[in-house]
Chains A and B, each alone.
Chain A
């Protein structure tokens, strides 16, 4: 085969290989949120304890908005104690942790709250409007909302104490 033929074949293969490399490098399960850096969608949520919370009322405070479900095992079970610990540590500094229970049974959700002794506000998103408004595609997902109402960071999967601490400290 002539040199120019070999060269043209090589040149046509390189972009394909680069495209493949790009495809293999990206995680197909990861959906980058277009909401990060933008204003968090407003919401009002009726809690399991009968109270209600709205993002508007929390303006000026950092908010940790966690989407969970009782059927989400083990990830939601792993992160629940860390969320409760973060709430206990940072609540005096104005940080609010809110749990949004999605696609769940009321009794199962309440049993989950009882099991983990969660004292931070939790409520069900019955119509799924908050869930869709935040572009949630699975549980657990957590949004860290700054004092000015913009989304600082979105975490997909179970949270650990180290990450929770780091992200909350960044917002304070």
Chain B
């Protein structure tokens, strides 16, 4: 082959090879990403508060392999998630689904925050109304017992 034709052949070869490799590379990337995302949503059954994505346990490894296999077989992430829920129940999901009784887990923290904020605002308002600010008691009349004693002591000190 002459040196002049070599770049052309290389270009042709690249054009033949690249379209075949790019989609598979993209697919592999997305499969890995999807697997990790799904595994991160699942609780590792044999660990304390670790996701299947984070756990080094044998069971988590096996679960990740099942996720990959199911995704490769054309199952959607929803179907894969559904498979694990059908085997372990909703316990397997690290975040409870927004359904029925589970709404409590999602809403209670916000209710608690809003309630707490409301109580703080009310307490502050009430304190301002009652005049709990600085020198708030200055306008109040003194207890006559203390007033007479103070007067006597002041006179004493002036001598």
Which residues does A use to contact B, with CB under 8 Å? 12, 19, 31-35, 41, 103, 127-129, 131-138
Contacts and interface: CB of A to CB of B under 8 A. Distances in A.
Contacts of A135: 87-89
Contacts of B59: 103, 128, 131-132
Nearest to B112: A16
Given A132-B87, A137-B88, A138-B46, 6 more contacts: A12-B115, A31-B45, A129-B66, A131-B62, A137-B45, A138-B45
- For the complex of A and B, list the 5 residue pairs with the smallest distance between their C-beta atoms, beginning with the closest: A128-B62, A137-B45, A135-B87, A135-B88, A34-B89
A15 to B, nearest CB: 10
Given A19-B104, A138-B46, A133 B62 contact: no
Contacts of A31: 45, 88-89, 91
B87 A133 contact: yes
B63 interface: yes
Interface of B: 45-46, 58-59, 62-63, 65-66, 84-89, 91, 104, 115
A103 B58 contact: yes
A34 B62 contact: no
A132 B62 contact: yes
B interface majority secondary structure: helix
Contacts of A132: 59, 62-63, 66, 84, 87
Nearest to A125: B62
A41 B84 CA distance: 13
A interface majority secondary structure: loop
B140 to A, nearest CB: 23
B87 A128 contact: no
B45 A32 contact: no
A34 B46 contact: no
A35 B45 contact: no
Contacts of A103: 58-59
A136 B45 CA distance: 8
A163 B157 CA distance: 92
Contacts of A128: 58-59, 62-63, 66
A100 to B, nearest CB: 13
A127 B62 contact: yes
Nearest to A28: B91
Contacts of A137: 45-46, 88
Contacts of B84: 132
A101 B28 CA distance: 33
B88 A34 contact: yes
18 contacts: A31-B45, A31-B89, A33-B88, A34-B86, A34-B87, A34-B88, A35-B87, A103-B58, A103-B59, A128-B58, A128-B62, A128-B63, A128-B66, A131-B59, A132-B62, A136-B45, A137-B45, A137-B46
